[in-house]
Amino acid sequence: MGESKRKVVYPGEIIYEGIDALPGLGVYRVEEKIISKHIGVVNKKGRIINVVPLNGVYMPKQDDFVIGEIIDIGVNFWLVDIHSPYDAFLGIYDITEFVDKEIDISEIYDVGDLIYAKVSRVTKTKYVNLTMKDSQAKRLYKGYVIDVSPSKVPRIIGKGGSMIKTIKDLTQTKIIVGQNGRIWIQGKNADLAAEAILFVEENALMEGLTDKVSEYIKSKT
């Protein structure tokens, strides 16, 4: 295990030279060069190179609960994308399942699996550890995930959980909110719940927002 190797780049910085990679979000191409538009973190997925702006991204903190996706598997750990410039590690000693020495750990969590996990440690060099040894932690089956700005998560949850409870009750869905700006939704009205959450994100400063959200959902049903 080592710390994430994602690189911070600056506007105008050349990220890649060659024609075998494609420009994605936050970059542009000049001849054979891919150049950053932002101060941000390079995120390469397949042949596509993106730069995720540092402004407003999720910075992991100990004891946060996050929704992560398994993106790689080591000998005794999983690498987890937590919607941050920094990937996280989940070790075999941080799960509740018994791990036999002979087992292929992909049988427990495989690439593409979603988990709701607790951040157990963040070092000064941004090495991030997760744990599933908490009563709230769980693997997330079915459903789907939307991404919102992490700064809007408190507004989406609402005072005492009032906002997210309103959305759950009126759409009859199950919703789990990660502090990293990822939200898992399951149920026959999941699309409507997602629309309502995005409505809250877009109108976070509006007064009487809970009532407005109720009206919005009822108008759609």
Q: How many CB atoms lie within 10 A of CB 209?
A: 18
How confident is the model at residue 10, as a pLDDT? 86
- 1, part of any domain: no
Residue that is last in its domain, among 94, 115, 140: 140
- pLDDT tens digit sequence for 71-107: 999 989 999 999 888 889 999 999 998 887 778 899 9
Residue type, 177: V
Instruction: Clarify whether residues 215 and 155 are in a common domain.
Output: yes
- 118, part of any domain: yes
- 116, part of any domain: yes
Domain count, the chain: 3
Give 4's pLDDT tier (boundaries 50, 70, 90): very low
Instruction: Clarify whether residues 183 and 203 are in a common domain.
Output: yes
Instruction: Please report, for the domain that includes residue 121, its CATH number.
Output: 2.40.50.140
Instruction: Please report, for the domain that includes residue 172, its CATH number.
Output: 3.30.1370.10
- pLDDT tens digit sequence for 36-78: 988 888 888 889 998 877 666 788 999 999 999 999 999 899 9
Q: What is the chain's mean pLDDT, rounded? A: 90
Q: Is residue 108's pLDDT more than 60?
A: yes
Residue that is last in its domain, among 123, 140, 157: 140
Give 2's pLDDT tier (boundaries 50, 70, 90): very low
How confident is the model at residue 55, as a pLDDT? 63
Give 3's pLDDT tier (boundaries 50, 70, 90): very low
Radius of gyration of the chain (CA): 19
Instruction: Clarify whether residues 109 and 152 are in a common domain.
Output: no
66, burial (CB in 10 Å: exposed 0-12, middle 13-18, buried 19+): buried
Instruction: Clarify whether residues 101 and 131 are in a common domain.
Output: yes
- 129, part of any domain: yes
Q: Residue 118: what are its φ and ψ, rounded to 5°?
A: -100, 135
Domain that holds residue 155: 144-220
